[in-house]
């Protein structure tokens, strides 16, 4: 069935596809392209909306396949009868000049970092609070008020990649991974930190934000970075000009974090995903020093500042069939991302959601601290829990 003919059946099917797409993906804005092959519609969603293939049944003889824009497995050149559709203040479907129809009415289309109109919803719309230098103190006041009840803190960082490799002899693969982490964290600056606050049941604060995204000062003209990492972050909506002009001073942030009540406290449970680098940057912020030469000293600092840590990637070792990076795991757990991928706020929220879903599905809502607390995936040491010290050589794998 082709959809380039202006008939009622075709229009109705396409309209159903659009409504189903919005309902399923729970976004207000998106730009995508429709392709048709016989009885199958393929929707290619812009960056930031869809990260893995998804099929939606429209009716008994037509299904919708949603694919990421950059999916290598879709040979788009082979698809015929291309239809372009934009969701925003109007939706126009057109395969030729003779067929264009307005199907949906919404709010105005937003500009995005990639130049596609409406591809990435703002953090504010997604319930993620952006923090810059001007509102840093006010946002910490709110966090201090909620931390006693919402003491599960999911965390993620964005940083400018990997620019250096350690040389020499190493005791193990895990030792090499720590030295790789250490030399890069020492050289580079953090760009974003996302913190999501949840209660013991994984519920967010009612009627307010649950996720804060801290945006640090970063200057592309002065600071070191890996170009591929910066390209990825820019395509995800990070505005480096604003980071340069309005970004948070790391020392100001560290002072407020030290007095916030969310570190140095055993009752605060930190949730993370493959988080050696994440905690490396946080420890560097808090100590205002380079990381320790020895991995065991790093874990001693981790225990002091973050006494209770769960790494979701490490927990996955005990979860049958769970594998891959954060988005892949979320897809397997049937979780829906809120906000743009590769921004720290959205990634921290998804990390928290994944932890509670895994705890329910694989651990009967009870995670053994002696076995899992204090481990960071891919590193070879952990700190002692309840007087017991555990060692794991770690196996390096994909990050988020």
List pLDDT tens digits, range 34-47: 554 444 455 555 44
Kindly report the number of other CB atoms within 10 A of residue 101's CB atom.
Answer: 12
Q: Give start and end residues of each alpha helix (H) in the chain.
A: 8-25, 136-146, 173-187, 227-235, 240-246, 250-258, 276-287, 295-305, 312-315, 326-332, 344-362, 369-372
Asked if 196 and 324 sit in the same domain, the reply is yes
Q: How far apart are CA 154 and CA 49, in angstroms?
A: 22
| Structure confidence at residue 168 (pLDDT) | 87
Between these two residues, 107 and 134, which has the higher pLDDT value?
134
Asked if 171 and 256 sit in the same domain, the reply is yes
| Structure confidence at residue 96 (pLDDT) | 33
| Structure confidence at residue 339 (pLDDT) | 84
In a domain, 396, yes or no: no
Asked if 286 and 214 sit in the same domain, the reply is yes
Return the structure tokens found at 186.
Answer: 């020492």
| Structure confidence at residue 382 (pLDDT) | 66
Kindly report the number of other CB atoms within 10 A of residue 151's CB atom.
Answer: 19
In a domain, 385, yes or no: no
Query: Could you tell me the pLDDT band of residue 15, with boundaries at 50, 70 and 90?
Result: low
- Is residue 267 predicted with pLDDT exceeding 50? yes
Q: Is residue 76 classed as helix, strand or coil in its secondary structure? A: helix
- Of 119, 142, 165, which residue is a domain's last? 119
Distances 139 to 142, 144, 257 between C-alpha atoms, Å: 5, 9, 11
List pLDDT tens digits, range 245-260: 999 999 999 999 999 9
Asked if 98 and 146 sit in the same domain, the reply is no
Residue with tokens 């001073």: 249
Asked if 84 and 176 sit in the same domain, the reply is no
- Is residue 49 predicted with pLDDT exceeding 50? no
Judged on CB neighbours under 10 Å (0-12, 13-18, 19+), 198 is buried
| Structure confidence at residue 172 (pLDDT) | 87
Average pLDDT of every residue of the chain: 76
Q: How far apart are CA 123 and CA 354, in angstroms?
A: 20
Between these two residues, 236 and 157, which has the higher pLDDT value?
157
Give CA angle at 65 (353, 349), nearest 5°: 15
| Structure confidence at residue 43 (pLDDT) | 52
Q: Is residue 45 classed as helix, strand or coil in its secondary structure? A: strand
| Structure confidence at residue 122 (pLDDT) | 58
Asked if 183 and 233 sit in the same domain, the reply is yes
Asked if 215 and 105 sit in the same domain, the reply is no
In a domain, 397, yes or no: no
Q: Is residue 199 within 8 Å of residue 150, measured between CB atoms?
A: yes
Judged on CB neighbours under 10 Å (0-12, 13-18, 19+), 341 is buried
Residue 171: CATH number of its domain: 3.30.420.10
Kindly report the number of other CB atoms within 10 A of residue 39's CB atom.
Answer: 13
Counting residues of the chain whose pLDDT is more than 70, the rounded percentage is: 64
Q: Any idea what DSSP says for residue 30? A: E
- Is residue 209 predicted with pLDDT exceeding 90? no
Q: How far apart are CA 305 and CA 307, in angstroms?
A: 6
CA 176 to chain CA centroid, Å, is: 26
| Structure confidence at residue 127 (pLDDT) | 74
Q: How far apart are CA 324 and CA 399, in angstroms?
A: 8
In a domain, 377, yes or no: no
Q: How far apart are CA 319 and CA 266, in angstroms?
A: 26
Asked if 23 and 70 sit in the same domain, the reply is yes
- Of 87, 119, 151, which residue is a domain's last? 119
Asked if 12 and 144 sit in the same domain, the reply is no
Asked if 91 and 134 sit in the same domain, the reply is no
| Structure confidence at residue 393 (pLDDT) | 42
Asked if 255 and 318 sit in the same domain, the reply is yes
List pLDDT tens digits, range 79-121: 334 444 443 444 334 333 222 222 222 222 222 222 233 344 5
Report, as an integer, the average pLDDT of 207-236.
Answer: 93
Report, as an integer, the average pLDDT of 163-178.
Answer: 90
Distances 219 to 157, 159, 191, 247, 396 between C-alpha atoms, Å: 17, 13, 10, 10, 31
Asked if 96 and 160 sit in the same domain, the reply is no
Q: Is residue 319 within 8 Å of residue 277, measured between CB atoms?
A: no
Q: Quote the number of domains for the chain.
A: 2
Q: How far apart are CA 168 and CA 315, in angstroms?
A: 31
In a domain, 80, yes or no: yes
Counting residues of the chain whose pLDDT is more than 90, the rounded percentage is: 56
- Domain with 24 in it: 1-119
């Amino acid at each position: 069935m082709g959809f380039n003919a202006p008939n009622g059946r075709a229009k109705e099917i396409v309209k159903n596809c659009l409504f189903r797409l919005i309902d399923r993906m729970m976004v207000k804005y998106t730009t995508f392209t429709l392709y048709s092959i016989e009885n199958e519609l393929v929707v290619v969603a812009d960056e930031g909306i869809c990260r893995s293939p998804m099929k939606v049944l429209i009716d008994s003889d037509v299904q919708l396949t949603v694919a990421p824009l950059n999916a290598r497995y879709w040979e788009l050149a082979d698809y015929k009868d291309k239809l372009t559709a934009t969701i925003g203040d109007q939706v126009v479907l057109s395969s030729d000049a003779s067929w264009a129809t307005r199907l949906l009415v919404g709010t105005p289309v937003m500009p995005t970092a990639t130049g596609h109109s409406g591809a990435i919803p703002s953090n504010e719309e997604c319930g993620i609070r952006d923090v810059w230098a001007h509102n840093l103190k006010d946002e910490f006041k709110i966090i201090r008020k909620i931390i006693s009840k919402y003491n599960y803190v999911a965390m993620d960082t964005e940083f400018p990649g990997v620019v250096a490799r350690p040389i020499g002899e190493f005791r193990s693969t895990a030792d090499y991974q720590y030295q790789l982490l250490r030399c890069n964290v020492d050289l580079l600056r953090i760009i974003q930190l996302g913190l999501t606050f949840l209660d013991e049941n994984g519920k967010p604060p009612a009627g307010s934000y649950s996720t804060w995204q801290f945006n640090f000062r970063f200057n592309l003209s002065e600071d070191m970075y890996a170009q591929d990492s910066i390209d990825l972050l820019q395509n995800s909506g990070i505005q480096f000009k604003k980071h340069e002009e309005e970004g948070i001073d790391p020392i100001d942030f560290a002072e407020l974090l030290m007095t916030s009540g969310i570190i140095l406290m055993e009752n605060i449970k930190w949730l993370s995903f493959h988080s050696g680098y994440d905690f490396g940057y946080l420890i560097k912020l808090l100590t205002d020093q380079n990381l320790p030469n020895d991995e065991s000293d790093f874990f001693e600092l981790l225990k002091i500042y973050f006494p209770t840590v769960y790494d979701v990637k490490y927990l996955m070792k005990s979860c049958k069939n769970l594998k891959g990076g954060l988005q892949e795991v979320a897809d397997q757990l049937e979780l829906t991302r809120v906000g743009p991928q590769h921004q720290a706020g959205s990634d921290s929220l998804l990390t928290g959601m994944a932890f509670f879903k895994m705890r329910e599905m694989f651990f009967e809502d009870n995670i053994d601290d002696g076995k899992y607390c204090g481990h960071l995936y891919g590193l070879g040491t952990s700190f002692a829990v309840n007087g017991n010290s555990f060692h794991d050589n770690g196996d390096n794998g994909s990050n988020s």
